[in-house]
A and B are shown apart, each in its own frame.
Chain A
Amino acid sequence: MVQGVGVVAGILVVWQLASMLLGSTSGSGISTVPSPSEAFSAFPELSAYWTGGFGLEAPALTSGDSFGNALLGLLQNGVATIYRLVLGVSIGLIVGVGLGVLVTWSRTLRETVAPLAHFARMMPLLAMLPLFGLWFGPTNLGVIVFVAFSVFVVLFVVTINAIENVPNFYSSYARSLGCDGARMRLSVVLPAALPEIRGGILLAMGFAWSAVIAGEFLGQESGLGRIIQRAGYFSQTDLLALMGVLTVIAAGITFALVSWGLSWATRWVEE
């Protein structure tokens, strides 16, 4: 706890120094490296992203900046992003792990698909984004599918590897008890592989956050990525810095939740 506070304080100090030493202020009053205080005082600007709802009205364009409206704006767009992230990760997880299990069912299939899957892992994901933009347009579905795809590529490969590393004696033992087929895959092979898949899921969470923010650059009407994209368009460096911090916090929270869930699911593992 004390260490955590120390690290945060340290980051703020380095950030402040960087702003003072490296930053310059342009003629229009924009600082190229905004200081922490400049970034945090950009918070009310988020009011512009609150479009109303739940019986509340959107603020007036010129005089609506307030802490409350900014918080609503942040929540509204944060929820939109998290919604896309959760759906995308869930789909990518189920399809990636599911296909991994199916492929490893047959030795021939596994040996055919595994090299292809490793090749797919090398693919620069963000370079694929325009393709998804063309396929789906600026729709929610497009972002969700892009996130799902980025998670799928990681987990498919990780699952195949993890299942290959499951010791043979588990399936021998299960077969000698009369267990086979789908029951064997789901109640023996998959749980035995889970501790190794766990690392892949955490890795995929990082990819998923990149994917969802980048996906929202493509003409989305809401989301943290959209705010970042607009702030960039208007050269609002202070708001950009703030959004960077807020996104890291949001990603950190999702990461901690997933990590906690995975620890619970693998609480049987021997230390």
Chain B
Amino acid sequence: MELRDVNREFTQASGEHIRGMDGVSFTIPQGQFVCILGPSGQGKSTLINMVAGFDTPDSGEVVVNGRPVRGPGPDRGVVFQRDTLFLWKRVADNIEFGLKARGVPKAERKETVDRYLKFIGLEKFARAWPKELSGGMRRRVAIAAVFANDPEVLLMDEPFVGLDYVLRAALHEVLLELWSRTEKTVMFVTHDIDEALALGDRVLVVQSGRIVRDVPLDFERPRTLEVLESQEAAHARVAILRSMGVPDAV
């Protein structure tokens, strides 16, 4: 995945121009887990919308797997911040939805849906409506639905916001397990530095529509609490905080 000098300007209702993206360029190699980190309203969502194809750059180009992005498509799966499960479809039908839309044969669909239901531990809830699930269960279904559709790239826009620590850690485990099995490229937007350190191969820090820092997270996986306490992790953390403009003395 590559972004080449992407620019995007928004005009507010007041007539004021805001630079959503300001000459952003970077490359993400196949299979990498990249966290996009930054405060709210600094362009993280704009970035993910461009790659997803919901928004188009004023200039520059977004290329995924050698093809320039022209609108949304099943090669780029999106997990949204808000719950987008189809409330009128049962859990299994939600997971099957993309496969059906892409014309995958029925036997294969069923096999895939069963595999993912089992993986997220919700086989018993295959026939349940989304309203019957807890918040954490719904997030698991949302992730399964996107992975089941077998995209080349996964775009996740603050998918675990508002969940408690324990639940979030459990979802991280599900996500990382799926990622390591499928070796998909993941672009994960978050404003939580701990989440980025726990998940990413690399962190891109976004501020005012620019990538201000590109920090590799080379320390080992799995990211146990011990690993996250290591010298290496602490260094990465400080480097990221500095680039976000946090002063040395607080």
Contacts and interface: CB of A to CB of B under 8 A. Distances in A.
Interface of A: 169-170, 172-180, 183, 187-188, 191-192, 194, 266-271
B131 A179 contact: no
A170 B98 contact: no
Contacts of A269: 87, 131
Contact of A183 (B88, B101, B129): B101
Contacts of A178: 73-74, 98, 101-102, 149
A177 B54 contact: no
Given A194-B88, A268-B88, A174 B101 contact: yes
A20 to B, nearest CB: 54
B80 A169 contact: yes
16 contacts: A169-B80, A170-B84, A172-B78, A173-B84, A174-B101, A175-B71, A175-B73, A176-B52, A176-B72, A176-B77, A177-B97, A177-B101, A178-B74, A178-B101, A191-B88, A268-B129
Contacts of B20: none
Contacts of A267: 129
Which 10 residue pairs of A and B lie closest in terms of their CB atoms, listed nearest first?
Answer: A178-B74, A177-B98, A179-B101, A173-B84, A175-B72, A191-B88, A176-B78, A270-B131, A268-B129, A178-B102
A192 B97 contact: no
Nearest to B76: A176
Nearest to A192: B88
Nearest to A184: B101
Nearest to A175: B72
Contacts of B149: 177-178
Contacts of A268: 87-89, 129-131
Given A268-B130, A270-B131, A172 B88 contact: no
Given A191-B88, A194-B88, A268-B87, A177 B131 contact: no
Given A169-B82, A269-B131, A179 B98 contact: yes
Interface centre among B82, B101, B130 (most CB of A within 10 A): B101
Interface of B: 52-54, 71-74, 76-78, 80, 82, 84, 86-89, 97-98, 101-102, 129-131, 145-146, 149
A188 B131 contact: no
Contact of B77 (A177, A179, A266): A177
- DSSP majority for the A interface? helix
Contacts of A170: 84, 86
Contact of A173 (B73, B76, B78): B78
B99 to A, nearest CB: 9
Given A191-B86, A192-B86, A270-B131, 7 more contacts: A173-B78, A173-B84, A175-B73, A176-B53, A177-B146, A178-B98, A270-B87
A71 B40 CA distance: 72
Contacts of A173: 78, 80, 84
A174 B101 CA distance: 9
A180 B149 CA distance: 15
Nearest to B77: A176
B2 to A, nearest CB: 20
Nearest to A190: B88
Nearest to A173: B84
Nearest to B130: A268
A172 B84 CA distance: 9
Nearest to B82: A169
A174 B84 CA distance: 9
B179 to A, nearest CB: 18
Contact of B97 (A172, A179, A266, A271): A179
Contacts of A192: 86-88
A269 B54 CA distance: 27
Nearest to B84: A173
A191 B85 CA distance: 13
Contacts of B145: 177
Given A177-B98, A268-B130, A188 B86 contact: yes
Contact of A172 (B72, B74, B102, B146): B72
A169 B82 CA distance: 9
A176 B74 contact: yes
A180 to B, nearest CB: 8
Contacts of B76: 176
Contacts of B86: 170, 188, 191-192
A267 to B, nearest CB: 8
Nearest to B52: A176
Nearest to B73: A178
Nearest to A180: B101
A103 B30 CA distance: 42
Contact of B54 (A172, A179, A188, A271): A172
